[in-house]
Amino acid sequence: MKVKHCSFVESSEVFEGCPLAREVFANSDPQCSWGDNNRSLVTPDVIRQALDEAGEVKGAARKQVQEVIRRLDALGEMYIDLEN
């Protein structure tokens, strides 16, 4: 077997200080699932797409979503672990 390695950050870091953005993501019917796994890795595009398709977000939630998108843009090709 050939062992593979990848780089990832935890979603808790991506959504740190942005609980409303996390809620928008979780309620957006994203094209991924998580829970009861050790790791659930997704690309930044998966989260960005879910946030973009969440509909109109206003007020504090909108500012938090914008901050999370800035963080996603900074990650490049790194994965995000939705389990942590």
pTM above threshold 0.95: no
Residue 78 confidence (pLDDT): 93
Return the pLDDT at 67: 96
pLDDT band of residue 17 (cuts 50, 70, 90) is very high
- Where residue 65 falls among pLDDT bands split at 50, 70, 90? very high
Q: According to the model, what pLDDT value does residue 46 have? A: 92
Q: How many CB atoms lie within 10 A of CB 75?
A: 16
Residue 21 in contact with residue 68, Cβ under 8 Å?
Answer: yes
Instruction: Find, among 47, 40, 84, the residue nearest to 65 by Cα.
Output: 47
pLDDT interval class at 42 (50, 70, 90):
very high
